[in-house]
Structure 1
Amino acid sequence: MSKAREPGALSALLRAHVPQGRSAALEQVEGLEELLHELYAAGQAQWPSVPLGLERFVRHLARHLPEGSGDVLRTLHTADLYLACACAEGEPLALQAFEQHILQRVPHRLGQLPESTVDDVLQELRQRLLVGRGETPPRIADYSARGSLLAWVRIIAARIVGELASQQGRQVLFDEPPEVLARMLSSNDPERELLREDSRQLLAEALRKALVVLPERDRALLRLHHLHGLTMDRLSAMYGESRSGVARRVAQARERLLELTRAELSSRLNLAGPEVESLLGLVQSRLDFSLRGL
């Protein structure tokens, strides 16, 4: 018999993981064990294709239990919390459901916006909400279920629209510091010594300029794949596209970045074709490493 099926096991698990000082309120909730099973079943019913373990759901629920009476459990949007928890764990079917039922409904709540702005907003939402950084889980894990998941995402999307509307915001979203790009070649790379310091700086600036011009959709794919290490399978789930289609888009984005960098180097350095290709070869050979530096 699993722990979750033992009498009182879920109630004990919930009390063990709620924030300090909130366990006592749960003692007053009648039928707490049955209620937890009902909340989990509601999540399964709302998202039947999304797998999520019962104990994992309860631990996640405990993290977001607000202060006050334990009866507040009945007012939370726990079915949406179920989906958010599965997305935070990187479950592919959860990511597909989030894309289809949440993200694709966001544009209709933002008013009349240019198509390019809508694309930028959706790309930024995917990165902010679904991608963890180091030991920090994806931000969607912070969704507390006080309101609907769609409303929570829409609020974040509206903030992103405001950022895009300001020059300062565009700098944050679309620019990269040149000193970071300057470190794209590792210090122990013998090819690095073939470049003069000024050429290295120009190369870094050319790559930065190319990234600014690169469409945000392409830039997001390169960042997610090369910087965050998302596999083609994970990207396929996030975007709701076939694995081969996503792989093709990543390859095309890489080629587009290299073409833009080639053009920028040619204009900045006034070099002949072979010299530009030599510098570009360094960029291409180190592309994975350089994008991690971003």
Structure 2
Amino acid sequence: MKVQIQRSINIEKPQQTVFNIIADLKQWNTWSPWMQSEPTAKTQSSGISGQVGQTQSWEGEVIGSGRMTIVDLQKNQLMKMNLEFFTPWKSFAEAIFDVKEVSPQQCKVTWTMNSNLPWFMFAFKNMMAAYIGNDFERGLKMLKEYAETGSVVSRSIYQGEKELPGFQVIGRKTTSKISDLGTTIRADFEDLNKRLQSGELTPPDGIVTLSHKHDIPHGTSTFTAGYLYKSNQHPKIPKDFEVTQVPNHKALVVDYYGPYRNIGNPWSMIVSYQRGKKKKVAKSIPMYELYKTMPDGRPEKDIHTQITLPIK
């Protein structure tokens, strides 16, 4: 079953600079969306960086194992790779990076993957294409950040299973395009803050976003950006807001340090661990982001968000 996935991005750096990053597989750990899912996975490179024949293999607890090999290079313009996946199932794909100059200080990178999914994945073809496309978008954004600034500010730490106390959240359930998610959540929190300042809301114990449904294939997300209170509290509730009760629960937890533009990385990590460890999701309890520290002028690397996925 053939699948093609393609995404592009413009980067404010010369074509040669960006191509040299892409063609050096040793630099992939910095911006690869899959290595962000399991930074502790083992990787090994062989061959000469930036030349045909260079390989990098990976082996992880939850991202599986495989190998990528550069098979064609056209200086500063095109790189082709063979991707071999060994586990969790055997598969093969071709990846192509096309780098075109837009101006002396800007280039456009197009990442294409041609693959054949196993026959038993036929029913999930569109979903898989959407999820991999989302990974490509995350990877290209991190490639852009790395090329333009020299680093990617994103650190995710898997904390394992935790027993967590229940709480209640006051907010408004909203559905948004995933592409507009950051702007929409920010607007909801601005409204909450105004209500707090006016005395309509009781000072909260925390700030949280509940994820009721994140539909990547359809590009929409339903969430509640709200204030968190202990279960035994009786806070003020504005008439146009609602209360969501979250009971005591067991969950997988990831601590994330970095800006919200890279928040997809810890989400990818926690879902990878949930699937890799075959944990059943507690669908009656929303996943959520708990904001341990807010930006407030602090360095991006110190912005702390806890990602939580309730399980049975």
Q: Same fold (TM over 0.5)?
A: no
Larger-gyration structure (1/2): 1
Structure ranking higher in strand proportion:
2
| Greater relative contact order (CA < 8 Å, ≥ 6 in sequence) | 2
State TM-score, norm by structure 1: 0.29
Q: Given the two structures, how large is their TM-score scaled by the length of structure 2? A: 0.28
Instruction: Looking at secondary structure, tell me which structure has more helix per residue.
Output: 1
